[in-house]
Structure 1
Amino acid sequence: MGEILDLIDMRVVLIAFSFIVIIFIVLVMTLWSKLNKLRKTYMAMLNGESSLNVEDALIELQEKAEALNQRTDSTQQQIAEVVQQLKKMKSHIGIHRYNAFAEGGSDLSFSVAILDEELDGVVLTGIHNRDETYVYAKPITQGQSSYTLSPEEKEAIHRGAHKK
């Protein structure tokens, strides 16, 4: 009787192992099929058989990046040129109005300083009296002039120099 039980137990074990092997074979075949499908898709993508060719796409991206780098360099150079031009623009203006003659009238005389960032430019002065107005221009280099500056002209230069 022990032999029969051993024989039955052996048959059950053999059937169970056979069933497990069949399940594994089906599983391996399913995974093999999916792997082949994935491999075909991968190869098609790399070789350009599909709508996307990775090599061509990478080359195109590299060319676009190089073009963008060149444009960036060009734009940075243009910006540097504009900044240099802005420094030379006479955009700092100082105005000082005053009464040139204490005997009467009002603040009709003026000094106007037109300067760049380096305090180069010109100062214009208009001296107004009852009958006429005289206008003088003096060149300014680094906030100074080769001509004698009046206190009013110095004030106009000072006001123009401190405009931001």
Structure 2
Amino acid sequence: MVIETVISNITEMKSEEIEKRHVEKVYLESAHLVKRIQRVKTDHGREMGIHLKEARDLIAGDVLYMDDESLIVIDVIADDLLLISPRDFKEMGTIAHQLGNRHLPAQFEDHEMLVQYDYLVEELLQDLQIPYTRENRKVNQAFRHIGHSHG
């Protein structure tokens, strides 16, 4: 089976539509969410190819296949993350500037900045005394580098 389009996202479906179907999951690392072409296997051992026609990233909950009895849905494997919690605007600006200079992709949830774990970033946060925690957590979308050059 080759998947060429994402049907929907499970978050947009009615619960009764989900409950009446057997749900299989394709577990991906967050870095693989940006791949339009890949070979995957569901948690029930079904192999399939993904070859998206549309230029888009996959996100957690994307429905790859659906019939009257089953759904195949994308789920994301937890990443090793640093959850940065600046106490004020100055700390936020300082860490954003430092991470931006390193071209590190970040995501934001509530009042936290999420970056993939890096021991150098952890040392930087300790040196700057900016509060953070390290946690394994699922993200809904890939950490995406923003195209940029110092020209």
More strand by share: 2
Q: Normalization by structure 1: what TM-score?
A: 0.22
Q: Tell me: higher relative CO, structure 1 or 2? Use CA pairs within 8 A at least 6 residues apart.
A: 2
Is the radius of gyration larger for structure 1 or structure 2? 1
Q: TM-score by structure 2 length?
A: 0.23
